[in-house]
Every structure is written in C-alpha cells, then in structure tokens.
Amino acid sequence: MSLFIQLTLTGLTNGAILALAALGFVLIYKSSDVLNFAQGEFLLVGAYVIFAMVAQIGLSWPIGLLLTVLVSIALGVIIERLVLRPLIGEPVISVIMVTIGLSSLLRAMVSAIWGNQPKAFPPFIASYPVRVLGATVGADRLWAIAIAVVMLGAFSFFFRRAREGIAMRAVADDQLAALSMGISVKRIFAWAWAIAAVTAAFGGAILANIVGVSGDLSGFGLRVFPVVILGGLDSIPGAIIGGVIIGLLEAYTGGYIGQGLNQVLPFVILIFILMIRPYGLMGQEIIERV
C-alpha cells in the first residue's frame, strides 16, 4: 500500500511536469499549427538559466525566477520572429524539421555554455522526507505538484478571463475571423511561443530541483508526445489530464513490472490512441473536406 502511494505521488509529480511542458506544446499547436519538437530544449534552457541566475550569479530565488521568465519570453519571441515566421504557409514537414533544427541548436548552445557534466541544483525547495498515508516521499515532490497545479490553474484562468488569453483562443479557432476582429495574429503567435517557453522553464526548474541539471533534461521533450496525443493535440485540459495519466502509468509500470517497460509503454499507448481516437480524449475532431 505504501508503495502504491509512493508510486502515485511520483507519477503525479512527473505528470505535473509533463503537463506543464505539454501545455506550451498544445498552445503553440493550437494557435499556429506548429508541432514544436524543441519543447524539451525549452525545458533544458529554462532549467540552466535559472541555475545560472541562482547558483552562478548568486541572485535570490524570486529575482532569479523573475529574470528566468523574462529570458524565456525573449527566447520564445525571438525564435518565433526569426525562425517560424518565414515558414508560415510552408509544408508540415518543413515546419517539423525547423523545430528539430532548433532543438539541436539550443542543445548545442546549452552544452557550449554550461558543459556536459550534470550539476547539482541549489534546491529552492528543501527535500526532507514527509509521511503521507504511510508512505515516505520527498517534500520537493509534493511542492512540485502544488506549484504545477497553481501554474496550470493560473494559465487556465488566463485563457478564460484575460484579454490576451481570449484573443489567443480566438486565433486558434479561426485566424481570419480573429484578424477581422482586430486581433494581431502575429502578436498572438509571439505570445504563444513566449508562454510555451515560460511554462517549459517552470517545468525545467521543478524537474531540475528533483534530479539536478544535465543535458538529459531535454529527453523530456519526446515524452511530451504521448501526453499530447492522449489528451488531444489542441486541448489544454487534455494536456493536463494526459500528463497525469501518462505520469501515473509510467510510475506504476516502473514500480510494479520494471524491465524498463515504463519507457516504452507511453509510445504503445500512443499508437493505440492514434488508431482508435486520433484526436485524443478531449481534442476536437477535424473533418477534412476537399
């Protein structure tokens, strides 16, 4: 029983981080139809920037976090402006490839600046053991879940109530209609990339707090795909639910069956979901007309 609770909490933590990464992913896909293969690298860059701010420059946590958010916004906007905008209207494969090229470039830049050695992360959440329902878990994991929930709640609120959030949903729904209502689609694309970079940076910071910073963090990018397909590529609640489901499944198969099955299971699920329900649990079914 205590193993079950431990695995559940581990799964929820991973699921929360996956959901944060998936949120940015879905946002970019929803507003601009771009599948961002560099999402894992956004996570990586975010984690390293916050590492640099706090551990290398020696800023305090709140200021470091704030600066990281600003850097992430700049990164997202610059990438959208320089790399993605020239490719508007190009075939799907070109857009996929350009984000893959971007991921390679970002990874190279990170390892050129900070090297390849994994580094200990100065914990901003202390990791003392906590007993929950008979199981022992690190407090950092509980905090990670709490932070992710707050972040996801804040973004859900943003999309429902804030002016920019509503504008983003309008662009996602119909670009032409949004344009004629006076919404700048270009600005919304920039917003989408900026928010994606910020949510990924938060995911990276939480992840780094648990496992430390290293180049392996970008591997999280591939794990986002099962999440977004399960939840539906264009659904924000779907990203959250998908993240939690995949996180829990990985933890349970890892804990009860082992054999590295937890690495491959999400992809097997992915193929099944694609065969049965390609638009995912909460995604919108698109009917193609010639």
- One of 88, 108, 120, 146 touching other proteins (CB under 8 A): 108
Q: At closest approach, how far in Å is the CB of 77 from other proteins? A: 17
- Site for other proteins contains 118 (CB under 8 A): no
Which stretch, 43-51, 92-100, 147-155, 206-214, contacts other proteins (CB under 8 A)?
A: 92-100
Give helix then strand counts, H and E, for the chain.
Answer: 11, 2
- Site for other proteins contains 282 (CB under 8 A): no
Q: Is the Cα torsion angle 105, 202, 96, 264 positive or negative in sign?
A: positive
Q: At closest approach, how far in Å is the CB of 113 from other proteins? A: 9
Do the Cβ atoms of 61 and 124 come closer than 8 Å? yes
Dist. CA 3–CA 61, nearest whole Å: 33
Q: At closest approach, how far in Å is the CB of 247 from other proteins? A: 17
- One of 126, 259, 285, 287 touching other proteins (CB under 8 A): 259
- Site for other proteins contains 260 (CB under 8 A): yes
Q: At closest approach, how far in Å is the CB of 287 from other proteins? A: 12
Beta strands in 105-199 (DSSP E): 129-132, 135-138
- One of 1, 176, 275, 287 touching other proteins (CB under 8 A): 275
Burial class (CB in 10 A: 0-12, 13-18, 19+), 44: buried
By beta-carbon proximity to other proteins, the closer residue of 177 and 268 is 268
Dist. CA 175–CA 203, nearest whole Å: 29
- Site for other proteins contains 104 (CB under 8 A): yes
- Site for other proteins contains 196 (CB under 8 A): no
- Collapsing DSSP states into helix, strand and coil, what is residue 259? coil
Q: Which of residues 214-233 bind other proteins (CB under 8 A)?
A: 222, 225-226, 229, 233
Count interface residues toward other proteins (CB under 8 A): 41
DSSP for 182-251, written as a single string:
T--HHHHHHHHHHHHHHHHHHHHHHHHHHH-B-GGGGGHHHHHHHHHHHH-TT-HHHHHHHHHHHHHHHH
Residue 81 host element (H or E): none
Residue of 250, 253, 232 whose CA lies nearest to 241: 232
Structure tokens at 18: 């996956």
Cα 123 to chain center, whole Å?
Answer: 21
- Site for other proteins contains 107 (CB under 8 A): yes
- One of 1, 62, 112, 126 touching other proteins (CB under 8 A): 112
- Site for other proteins contains 287 (CB under 8 A): no
- Site for other proteins contains 92 (CB under 8 A): yes
Q: Which of residues 128-187 bind other proteins (CB under 8 A)?
A: none
Cα 21 to chain center, whole Å?
Answer: 1
- Site for other proteins contains 288 (CB under 8 A): yes
What string marks each residue from 46 to 85 as x (binds other proteins by CB under 8 A) or -?
Answer: -------------------------------------x--
Q: Please give the residue ranges that form the binding site for other proteins (CB under 8 A).
A: 35, 83, 86-87, 90, 92-94, 96-98, 100-109, 111-112, 222, 225-226, 229, 233, 259-260, 263-264, 267-268, 270-271, 274-275, 278, 288, 290
